[in-house]
């Protein structure tokens, strides 16, 4: 590396000194090359530069649009709205406080936030909400969050979307998904809803029927452990309960069959 006065050059931790005349010649050549670079003008016209910037900007926007689960917001004239703050169609901020959960592409809420929602703390900012319990029926019947709906198949999500076409505008309604631990079944159907919702709107990106959806972090187990008085009945049946081994095989088989039929 050359020193600031070009008199010393270091190689692999060692150093060697040049005589003053050699250093002066090298320094003069360096300054000459630097000045030439500063005086060099762009050969492209302002119009071409503008088109290039627009093309690059359009390309970066198209990449950003598909970076994640679908939470890329709308653009404004000045800059992009915050992806962490605005819902998936960019129309308004999220109503509920979110946390960095196990699935970073999904917006997660805590059991305490779910409890506050049930208690009416967010009634001033939320018109309506639906809790989608993605566990199997025997788990749901054994104990679930009050007013939750049992949807454990993709066809149940299709029916939910079909209902929105009949009811009209649902963009103000929020959806909270969960399963036993919110590790697999809940996140899977949460992503499925967003994917189908995008497909239904085709080129009308980023419009959605349900732009604000959440995942309950820790699932029903976590919620039950801290807020069981919000469950009905007040009980918790694990998926792998010894009494329901046949039910586990049945519902897993049903889910696999549906997947194969959809792929064909």
- For 11, list phi and psi in degrees, rounded to 5: -125, 120
Tell me the average confidence (pLDDT) per consecutive run of 10 residues in the chain, 264 residues long: 46 44 49 47 46 45 40 40 75 95 95 98 92 98 98 96 83 95 97 96 93 98 98 97 93 69 40
Q: Per this entry, what is the length of the chain?
A: 264
Residue 253 has what pLDDT? 86
Q: Which of 179, 161, 202, 189 shows the shortest CA–CA distance to 259?
A: 189
Cα separation of the two ends of the chain:
64
Q: Would you say residue 116 lies in a domain?
A: yes
Say how far apart CA 247 and CA 257 lie, in whole Å. Answer: 15
What CATH number does residue 160 fall under?
A: 3.40.250.10
202 belongs to a structural domain: yes
With respect to residue 75, please indicate whether it lies within any of the assigned structural domains: no
Residue 219 and residue 102 in contact, taking contact as beta carbons nearer than 8 Å: no
DSSP β-ladder status, 128-133 and 173-178: parallel
What span, in angstroms and rounded, lies between the C-alpha atoms of 83 and 73?
6
* In-domain check, residue 38: no
Say if 71 falls within a structural domain: no
Q: Could you tell me the CA-to-CA distances from 149 to 69, 113, 134 in Å, in that order?
A: 23, 19, 8
Domain, as residue range, for 100:
86-238
In a domain, 99, yes or no: yes
Active site residues per annotation: 179
Indicate yes or no: pTM above 0.85: no
Q: How many domains does the chain contain in total?
A: 1
Residue 31's pLDDT is 55
Q: Are 135 and 248 in contact (CB under 8 A)?
A: no
Whether 186 is covered by a domain: the verdict is: yes
């Amino acid at each position: 590396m050359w020193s600031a006065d070009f008199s010393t050059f270091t190689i692999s931790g060692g150093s060697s000194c040049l005589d003053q005349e050699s250093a002066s010649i090298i320094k003069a050549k360096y300054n000459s090359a630097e000045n030439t670079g500063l005086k060099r003008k762009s050969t492209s016209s302002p119009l071409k530069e503008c088109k290039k910037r627009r093309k690059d900007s359009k390309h970066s926007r198209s990449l950003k649009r598909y970076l994640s689960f679908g939470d890329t917001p709308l653009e404004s004239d000045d800059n992009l709205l915050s992806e962490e703050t605005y819902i998936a169609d960019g129309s308004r901020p999220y109503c509920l406080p979110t946390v960095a959960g196990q699935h970073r592409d999904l917006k997660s809420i805590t059991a305490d936030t779910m409890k506050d929602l049930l208690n009416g703390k967010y009634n001033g900012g939320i018109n309506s909400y639906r809790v989608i319990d993605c566990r199997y029926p025997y788990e749901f019947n054994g104990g679930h969050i009050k007013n939750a709906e049992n949807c454990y198949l993709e066809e149940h999500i299709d029916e939910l979307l079909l209902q929105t076409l009949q009811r009209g505008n649902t963009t103000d309604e929020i959806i909270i998904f969960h399963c036993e631990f919110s590790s697999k079944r809940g996140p899977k159907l949460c992503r499925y809803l967003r994917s189908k919702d995008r497909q239904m709107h085709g080129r009308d990106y980023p419009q959605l029927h349900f732009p604000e959806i959440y995942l309950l972090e820790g699932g029903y187990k976590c919620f039950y452990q801290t807020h069981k008085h919000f469950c009905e009945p007040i009980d918790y049946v694990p998926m792998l309960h010894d009494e329901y081994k046949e039910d586990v095989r049945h519902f897993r088989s049903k889910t696999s069959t549906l997947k194969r039929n959809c792929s064909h």
